[in-house]
Every structure is written in C-alpha cells, then in structure tokens.
Amino acid sequence: MNDTEALRLSFRPERVRMLMVGESAPAGGTFFYRANSNAYREIRKAFGRDGDDGFLAWFKAQGFYLDDLVLTPINTTGRAERQSACEAGIAPLSERIRNYRPQMVIAFKKSICREVLEAVRRSGTGAAYECTHFPGVGQQAKFRADMALILPRLPGRDVNL
C-alpha cells in the first residue's frame, strides 16, 4: 500500500454513510486527505466549513469518506490511457462500495459519472447516487451549487452542516 492509500485508510470511518468518489489522487502530491488540494478546499466550503482546521476529523465523524475510481494518479496520462484506467477501476470500486455499504455515493467529476454509477450498480448496495462537477478548473461554483442541492437529501440527515 502506498503512502496516499495508507493516509486515506486512516480517515475511513467505521461506518461509511456517504461516499464521495473522485477520478484519482493527483500526480503532483496534493491530496484531499493531506488537506492541500482544490478538492479539499471546495468540499470543505460545500459543507459550510471553510477555514475549519478540524474538517477532516469532522468529515470522518459524520461517516463521510472520499475514495477514487482509480487508486493511482492518472491526471497526467493521455486520454485513451485515462479512459482505460477508469474502465478498469469499475470492478475494484464496486467491491469497495460493497464493503463500505454507504447510503449515498457522490461522484465528483462529470467524466466519471458513468463508471461510478456502474460500480454502484454492481455493488448491489442500493446506495443513492449523485454526480457533480469537479471542484476545480473553473467549476467550483457549479460544484458548490450541485452540493447545495444534494446535501439536504443525504440519508440520515442528522449531520451538523
């Protein structure tokens, strides 16, 4: 297991209620669970916790978890290789979803919506599914607007948002 995946695992809640799924951790070393990525900043804002140094602990305590379709960085690969990696990521993600048993899965990049939905279907969990814009590259406002519509529909809405 690489350092990124070990760090991710350290933030896995005992019970995953809501699973967010990105494409892959970036190749440049930034990562949601290192609290140094665009995804981290924008997800924190979407939950109304901008400037919250304890966000990752709160995220875990709520039963929220962020996983990726592909567990190795693919953001610097060519289009065909990237698509192939995403297709290959469906079955492993489906197995992880089966193990997590989330109530809701949110894909946060439009280009992976189909693959993540297929992984949810294959998991057999019956989890609710949503797809948002990626929280970067000029799409931050769209991502926050998407999340503003999704968050009130979170199952077990006892979350302190």
Classify 3-122+136-152 by CATH class: alpha beta
Mean pLDDT for 62-86 is 93
Residue range 2-29, pLDDT digits in tens = 899 999 999 999 999 999 999 999 888 8
Domain residue limits, the chain:
3-122+136-152
Predicted TM-score (pTM) of this structure = 0.92
Q: What are the angstrom distances between the C-alpha of 73 and each of 3, 24, 48, 109?
A: 13, 5, 28, 15
For residue 158, is pLDDT > 80?
no
- Choose among 120, 73, 70, 112: nearest CA to 94: 120
Q: Given this model, what pLDDT does residue 29 score?
A: 85
pLDDT confidence tier of residue 75, bands split at 50, 70 and 90: confident
Q: What is the pLDDT of residues 35-64, one digit of tens each?
A: 999 899 999 999 988 877 899 999 999 999
For 109-132, how does the pLDDT look when each residue is reduced to its tens digit (9 = 90+)?
Answer: 999 999 999 999 999 999 999 999
**105: phi then psi, degrees, rounded to nearest 5:** -125, 130
